[in-house]
Amino acid sequence: MNAFDMDDRVTAAAVAAAGTIVGALIQLRVAWRKEVSERARGAPVTKKSRRGPVLAVFLLLIAAGVGGFALSQYFVRQADLESTAMRGELQAQLAQISATAQRLERASLGDHGSTTRPDDGQRSAKSLSVMTTIGPCRAHATTGSDAMRACSEQEALRATLCGSVPSTAQVTNTVFYARPEGSSQSWADRRVTPGQDVGHARFSDKSFEKADSEQAKLVCTDFSVWDSEQAVSARLDVTYEAAPAGREIAHAAVAPVTNVAP
């Protein structure tokens, strides 16, 4: 609080009050000395001489009122200045908090975008599955009769399972499953290895890739069934990494190639 930082009206009132007080004190002193000298000479006190102190006291009351007004205005002015300064400080802090919140929101959105959208050159892992069911296999007897006999592996029914992926994708894993049709076992319990005999059924020793179009390629494997009693279901799972620029949608396909002995 600066004692000299006052409004012009407050300053003028304070100066007027101070001048009035000084004038009243001088008048009181003059009247008091005059009355003392008259009493010393033994002169009677007249009404005129008595008005001097009364007028001085009246002036003192006026000066006190003006001074009180000036002092109250000074305090009001200082309170307004302090309120204005505090309001400005609060507004500055609110603006700073708002700016910080906006920066945090933008940073949060940026982090969310970086976790949901891979950067250029980064690949995202995806997978697909394709299934088919083959059999049971039946072969005619070689004696010329219409009797049926069981198929041999050379007479097996065959199908090619293919999954379509983007042409720029990199295949990271292929998993094979086989189970009898209608089996209650889960696929996870029926995982097999390439070339493994799974009860008159077998996947080829390895999978292979071939072009499908300019935007896609096929990841394939052959599956053979020579079971003469029941059908067999096969499943191929393909895991691959696709570049984020690729917009192709992967899908599965089965290309059956049957071979039944005459």
Q: What pLDDT, on a 0 to 100 scale, did the predictor assign at position 260?
A: 42
pLDDT at 200 over 70: yes
Contact 256, 234 (CB under 8 A): no
> pLDDT-derived band of residue 206, with 50, 70 and 90 as boundaries?
confident
Tokens of 48: 């005129």
Is the pLDDT at 78 greater than 70, yes or no?
yes
Which band of pLDDT confidence, cut at 50, 70 and 90, is reported for residue 20?
confident
Distance (Å, whole) CA 260 – CA 158:
9
More confident residue, 140 or 253: 140
pLDDT at 73: 75
Mean confidence (pLDDT) of the chain: 76
Instruction: For 106-128, give one letter per residue: b (16+ CB within 10 A) or e.
Output: eeeeeeeeeeeeeeeeebeeeeb
Determine the Cα–Cα distance for residues 49 and 119; give it in Å rounded to an integer: 104
Confidence of residue 262 (pLDDT cuts 50, 70, 90): very low
Q: Quick one: average pLDDT of 147-162?
A: 82
Q: Which of 234, 202, 258 is nearest to 129 (CA)?
A: 234
User: Lowest-confidence range among 5-14, 42-51, 70-79?
Assistant: 42-51
Residue 153 CB coordination number (10 Å):
13
Largest CA distance in the chain: 177
C-beta separation of 24 from 60 below 8 A: yes
**Residue 189 corresponds to which tokens in the numbers above?**
């319990």
Percentage of residues of the chain with pLDDT beyond 90: 16
pLDDT at 122 over 70: no
Q: What angle in degrees, to the nearest 10, is found between the helix axes of 47-116 and 8-41?
A: 160
What is the percent of the chain where pLDDT is above 70?
65
Question: How far is Cα 200 from Cα 152, in angstroms, rounded to an integer?
Answer: 9
Residue recorded with tokens 């929101």: 105
pLDDT at 143 over 90: no
Instruction: Give buried/exposed letters for 223-257 (b at 16+ CB in 10 A, else e).
Output: bbbbbbeebbbbbbbbebbbeeebebebebebeee
Minimum mean pLDDT among 54-58, 205-209, 225-229, 249-253: which range? 249-253
Sheet holding 232-242, edge to edge: 124-134, 232-242, 170-180, 191-192
Which string of DSSP letters, residue by residue, matches 48-108?
Answer: HHHHHHHHHHHHHHHHHHHHHHHHHHHHHHHHHHHHHHHHHHHHHHHHHHHHHHHHHHHHH
The tokens for 72 are 């109250």
* pLDDT tens-digit series, residues 24-48: 777 777 777 776 676 676 655 555 5
Per residue, what are the HEC states of 124-193?
A: EEEEEEEEEEECCCCEECCCCCCCEECCCHHHCEEEEEEEEEECCCEEEEEEEEEEECCCCCCHHHHEEC
Q: Which pLDDT score is estimated for 109?
A: 76
In this prediction the pTM is 0.46
**What pLDDT sits at residue 104?**
87
Cis peptide before 194 (omega within 30 of 0): no
